[in-house]
Amino acid sequence: MKIDSIDFFYLTMPQVLDIGDGSQDALLVRVSAGEHVGWGECEAAPLVSIASLVCPMSHSACKPVQASVLGQSIDGVDDIRRIGNLVRANSLDLLQADHTLSGIDIALWDLLGRRLDEPVWKLLGYAQSYPKMPYASVLFGNTAQETLAKAKRIRALGFRAAKFGWGPFGTLDVADDESQLQAAREGIGEEGVLLVDVGTIWNDDLARARTRLPALKRARAQWLEEPFVSGALSEYHALSQESQPVGLAGGEGCHNFHMAKNMIDLAGLQYVQIDAGRIGGITVAKDVADYAATRSVTYVNHTFTSNLALSASLQPFAGLDTHVICEYPTELQVLAREMTLNHITPDAEGFLSAPDAPGLGIEPNLVGIQSYLVDTEIRVGGKLLYRTPPLS
């Protein structure tokens, strides 16, 4: 069975706001092989990933991503890894390629799962998909009062854990940050699991990060996420020596296995957060999950768009029973919500599981997303390289 086509669909809200909300646009991926179809999603910057799918070759190690995928045979899971390796070699000098490959790899797993009538987590070798404890993932409010209200709402919805991130946190003074943290703690209650995401706000400034540790400890945050950019290994490690009992979380910026491995080995992380839509897909994410497990680092999914991306992000660690916590975006834009016909929702105990259904277990809503589809066209040297394909 050969891969016949790769279709990229750029979806966007009518207006994209300058806020840390990744569900405002999406790049939906469809891969076809014979009569079989699979769906995936690339994280962020749809136009750039479209360009890297179809761009003209620069040289032998800078080919468009599609050159290593179209026409390849896809008969088993080993083929997915083989195709990923081809993309990484043939597009070595094309930086965006890892993000572009991610959506294709996810779609190939979905395609194979649908064809073999098995959930992806089974194809990955897991016998069981364990329930995960979702944390509600929201932005900090603009004020401590807003954060308090958000936290109370999350608690009322039955969540045991909440993550607050971005917004003004880390950019103002330490006292303001402490008020935000105390508001979050008050809102979710004494028993709630509190997670804090600062979105690389301190870049690699160890001193500034240090000043927030006392407030994080007083608010009993379970983790501090992305104090620094991915790769600032020595700064992460130094901070981890002082942050306990607050664990460090990071890794979402990793776009290949080695970056994640280095974060696990050398950054003092307690939690490694992997976005299957960036790191090269489910294949590489599963490699990281396997490695993290051998190093006593907890694997956590990173995701903030549709439930298709959510399902893809859950598969790599579905079978790791002691890696319990999981990201679950709860402030999705209507686009990300309407992108899929079915959704992944917490069970009666408030836990979340990777779907027990063929492939990723998520059906894209082809009619519903039509109005979010944005016509895109790329021409080079008079040749049409890309035009938004029809959805059906």
Interface positions with a second copy (CB under 8 A): 10, 12, 16-22, 24-25, 43-48, 50-52, 54-62, 85, 88-89, 92-96, 98-99, 166, 199-200, 203-204, 229, 231-234, 253, 255-256, 258-259, 261-262, 265-266, 278, 374-382, 385
Q: How far is the CB of 40 from a second copy (least distance, A)?
A: 17
Q: Find the radius of gyration of the CA atoms of the chain.
A: 20
Q: How far is the CB of 371 from a second copy (least distance, A)?
A: 12
> Would you say 46 or 141 has its CB closer to a second copy?
46
The span from the CA of 62 to the CA of 60, in Å, is 6
Q: How far is the CB of 119 from a second copy (least distance, A)?
A: 29
What separation, in Å, do the N-terminal and C-terminal C-alpha atoms of the chain show?
21
Q: How far is the CB of 302 from a second copy (least distance, A)?
A: 11
Residue type, 85: N
Q: How far is the CB of 233 from a second copy (least distance, A)?
A: 6
Q: How far is the CB of 161 from a second copy (least distance, A)?
A: 23
Going by the DSSP 8-state scheme, the letter that residue 39 receives in this structure is E
The span from the CA of 362 to the CA of 41, in Å, is 12
Do 274 and 289 touch, CB atoms closer than 8 A? yes
Could you give the angle at which helices 97-116 and 282-294 cross, rounded to 10 degrees?
A: 90
Q: How far is the CB of 129 from a second copy (least distance, A)?
A: 28
Residue type, 310: L
Burial class of residue 128, CB neighbours in 10 A (0-12, 13-18, 19+):
exposed
> Would you say 187 or 253 has its CB closer to a second copy?
253
> Would you say 95 or 157 has its CB closer to a second copy?
95
Tokens of 277: 């839509």
The span from the CA of 193 to the CA of 222, in Å, is 7
> Would you say 116 or 378 has its CB closer to a second copy?
378
Q: How far is the CB of 310 from a second copy (least distance, A)?
A: 17
> Would you say 50 or 209 has its CB closer to a second copy?
50
> Would you say 213 or 229 has its CB closer to a second copy?
229
How far is C-alpha 196 from the chain's CA centre?
Answer: 17
> Would you say 16 or 341 has its CB closer to a second copy?
16
What residue has token string 């799962």?
Answer: 113
Tokens of 132: 């995960």
Q: How far is the CB of 377 from a second copy (least distance, A)?
A: 4
> Would you say 215 or 232 has its CB closer to a second copy?
232
> Would you say 89 or 157 has its CB closer to a second copy?
89
Going by the DSSP 8-state scheme, the letter that residue 62 receives in this structure is B
- Beta-carbon contacts of residue 296 (< 8 Å; ≥ 6 apart): none
Return the SS3 of 253.
coil
Tokens of 8: 């990229």
The span from the CA of 278 to the CA of 282, in Å, is 10
Residue type, 202: W
Q: Phi first, then psi: give them for residue 386, nearest 5 degrees.
A: -155, 135
